[in-house]
Amino acid sequence: MKKIAFTTFGCKVNQYETAAFISGFQELGHAIEPTSEQADIVVINTCAVTAKAGGQSRQAIRRTLRRNRRARVVITGCYAQLAADEIGAMEELEGRSYSIVGNGDKHELLRAALAVSENPILLRDPREDATTISPLPLRRFKGRTRAYLRIQDGCDAFCSYCIVPYTRGRSRSLPIAQVLHQVEIFRRQGYKEIVVTGIHVGNYGGDLAEKTDIADIMDRLCRSVSDVRFRLSSIEPTEISDKLLDTMAQNNNFMPHLHIPLQSGADDILLRMNRRYSTERFMAVLENCHKAIEDVAVGLDILAGFPGETDTHFSHAYSFLEKLDFTYLHVFPYSRRPGTPAADFDDQVPGNIKDRRVARLRRLGEAKKQSFYQKHLGSRRTLLVENARDASGMLKGFTDNYIPVLIAGEDSLKNSIVDVLLQQDKKRTIYGKLISKNDER
């Protein structure tokens, strides 16, 4: 029996894949170690979506190698795919037993980790050659109330700032039968909510022999597993069709929550980003969402300080965001990523200007979020209660439309879906009251 520790960076897909590795090791009889210092094997699932993420991944590799000089180290994920040669040249790896496993070979990670070999094991096929998604069945998400369901990998968009198509390859979809099988496993394990995710999840089905798309698979999941709630992760504005919105409206277990990357509110910058829509089209998509889905929560992604973003561009973008009806804002400063077209653009924006723009956008996002919460005070919503309490001892959870709520209650309510009345906004925290059967009489 080996003791195995994990460090994971990045997106929901990485988190799904790490959970699949954990499940696989446990099925083979190995133990999961909470920290790397006492582990026999350490798996580091890296990220490279920004220069900062790549730097954090690199630091984690070095830190692990220094703290545990006897463990076998397995390095995977986007930074491993992008910088395998750089990783292999680290002084700390000299004389060590290690593996580098690229994104397309993650289904081979357990074999590489458990192999008896003094020499490095390198599994890193070129991403442009990938035609299928790595099969990574999963039994359980340890410590999570919601399960993530990875149905797609790769991306065909090639936005000018993004390294992901170069590290994940072209879009590939998990066959429908495997999607349904994984959902049934989660249902039997007792999960009440599943988050459907991918690198470019709205592109699901385009490569499958069986004709399907993201609206079809969401409809099929909602109808076939009616006692489970489904939530869709980030989806491009060009992929929010009337068909998808109709699917959400017609299925009570398809949560009224969308996360849509905008990235810029200035058309000139969207063009430089190689985004395939205008601000006018984006606004129309958002208006359609609100017309089709009552009380829908809509989160947006925005990049501040993209090369060429002048004060005028930013002012226009800020005014555009002020007019939009959205719930929350994820704001990121543009991060120069070598290997992407935007990294070579002239007129890079200085860091201090990016910081000021980020701060201003985050204040706007906070105001929009609080306005959305206030609007729902006094309303009744369904809530999935988390498995853990907050620091004050209250039960916590998210409503169907993604409002975080605290309620008083017994442990028996954990991992259950309850009706709550949203009563109070105190210090930007929403408190709710459990609606009992007596309250309904």
For residues 79 and 74, give the distance between their C-alpha atoms in angstroms, rounded to a whole number. 13
Give mean pLDDT, residues 267-286.
98
Give mean pLDDT, residues 414-421.
96
Is residue 89 included in any domain, yes or no?
A: yes
What are the pLDDT digits (tens) for 325-339? Answer: 999 999 999 999 989
pLDDT score at 142: 74
Residues 266 and 333 occupy one common structural domain: yes
Residues 384 and 363 occupy one common structural domain: no
Q: CB within 8 A of 299, min separation 6: which ones? A: 257, 258, 259, 260, 326, 327, 328, 329, 330, 402
Helix (H) or strand (E) holding 211: none
Is residue 307 included in any domain, yes or no?
A: yes
Query: What is the three-class DSSP state of 102?
Result: coil
Helix (H) or strand (E) holding 50: none
Question: Could you tell me if 383 and 418 are in contact, meaning their C-beta atoms sit under 8 angstroms apart?
Answer: yes
Domain extent, residue 409, equals 380-440
Which of these three, 351, 375, 399, is where a domain ends? 375
Helix (H) or strand (E) holding 42: strand 41-46
Is residue 413 included in any domain, yes or no?
A: yes
Residue 440 has pLDDT above 60, yes or no: no
Residues 48 and 63 occupy one common structural domain: yes
Is residue 138 included in any domain, yes or no?
A: no
Helix (H) or strand (E) holding 44: strand 41-46
For residues 10 and 16, give the distance between their C-alpha atoms in angstroms, rounded to a whole number. 11
Residue 129 has pLDDT above 70, yes or no: no
Question: Could you tell me if 266 and 313 are in contact, meaning their C-beta atoms sit under 8 angstroms apart?
Answer: yes
For residues 244 and 213, give the distance between their C-alpha atoms in angstroms, rounded to a whole number. 9
Question: Position 124: which residue type?
Answer: R
CATH number of the domain at 164, please: 3.80.30.20
Is residue 84 included in any domain, yes or no?
A: yes
Of all residues in the chain, the percent with pLDDT exceeding 70 is 96
Residue 32 has pLDDT above 80, yes or no: yes
**Does residue 128 or residue 100 have the better pLDDT?**
100
Residues 361 and 388 occupy one common structural domain: no
Please choose, from the candidates 229, 190, 182, the residue with its C-alpha nearest in 3D space to the C-alpha of residue 415. 190
For β-strands 98-101 and 72-77, DSSP reports them as parallel
Give mean pLDDT, residues 56-74.
91
For residues 297 and 248, give the distance between their C-alpha atoms in angstroms, rounded to a whole number. 12
Residue 438 has pLDDT above 60, yes or no: no
Question: Could you tell me if 232 and 218 are in contact, meaning their C-beta atoms sit under 8 angstroms apart?
Answer: yes
pLDDT score at 96: 82
What are the pLDDT digits (tens) for 366-392? Answer: 999 999 999 999 999 999 999 989 989
What does the chain come to in residues?
441
According to the per-residue pLDDT averaged within each range, which of 88-102, 110-124, 230-244 is highest? 230-244
Give mean pLDDT, residues 62-82.
91
Of all residues in the chain, the percent with pLDDT exceeding 90 is 76
pLDDT score at 441: 47
Residues 28 and 64 occupy one common structural domain: yes
CATH number of the domain at 64, please: 3.40.50.12160
Question: Position 315: which residue type?
Answer: S
Residues 48 and 185 occupy one common structural domain: no
Residue 344 has pLDDT above 70, yes or no: yes
Question: Could you tell me if 230 and 196 are in contact, meaning their C-beta atoms sit under 8 angstroms apart?
Answer: yes
Residues 223 and 353 occupy one common structural domain: yes
Question: Could you tell me if 396 and 404 are in contact, meaning their C-beta atoms sit under 8 angstroms apart?
Answer: yes
CATH number of the domain at 419, please: 2.40.50.140
Residues 231 and 366 occupy one common structural domain: yes
Kindly list the strands in the beta sheet with 121-123, ordered across the sheet, starting from the edge strand earlier in the chain: 31-32, 3-8, 41-46, 72-77, 98-101, 121-123
pLDDT score at 436: 76
Please choose, from the candidates 284, 192, 197, the residue with its C-alpha nearest in 3D space to the C-alpha of residue 238. 284
Residues 238 and 357 occupy one common structural domain: yes
Query: Mean pLDDT over all residues of the chain?
Result: 92
Please choose, from the candidates 168, 212, 194, 180, the residue with its C-alpha nearest in 3D space to the C-alpha of residue 76. 168
Q: How many domains does the structure of the chain reveal? A: 3
Residue 128 has pLDDT above 60, yes or no: no
Residues 344 and 385 occupy one common structural domain: no
Give mean pLDDT, residues 237-262.
98
Residue 35 has pLDDT above 90, yes or no: no
Around Cβ 43, how many Cβ atoms within 10 Å?
28
For residues 385 and 146, give the distance between their C-alpha atoms in angstroms, rounded to a whole number. 10
Give mean pLDDT, residues 167-179.
93
